[in-house]
Amino acid sequence: MKTPYRRIRFFVPIFILLALLAVSYAVYWLWNTVLIAVVPVKSVTFWQAVGLLILSRILFGGFKFGSAGGRFRGGEGSPPWRERWRQMSDDDRSKFKREWRKRCNDKPEL
């Protein structure tokens, strides 16, 4: 007997492919309508837009799915300084702030 999970598993790659094609079409359309009017660049074909999308993913690391993608969201996995800041007393915080203001304001002029 087939479970609904098997049907869903079948459609996931199709959905990903359709999403890639839709986003590529958006890049293609925006490039050829907006960018050409603003910047002196040549128009691109649909497949060049797909390549630009993949290149931007490689260079800039976008398209994060699922979790925060390594970014901190508080709680477990938060930066270590955050817990130390929470444990500081008000006097310690004000002393810390004064010290950093002093460090930032004492920089020599360039």
Q: Where are the domains of the chain?
A: 4-63+75-105
For 50-98, the pLDDT digits (tens) are 998 888 888 887 656 555 555 555 556 678 888 888 888 999 999 988 8
CA distances from residue 110 to 21, 28, 102, 104 in whole angstroms, order as listed:
50, 45, 18, 14
The pTM assigned to this predicted structure is: 0.49
> What angle, rounded to 10 degrees, do the helices at 4-30 and 46-60 form?
100
The pLDDT of residue 83:
84
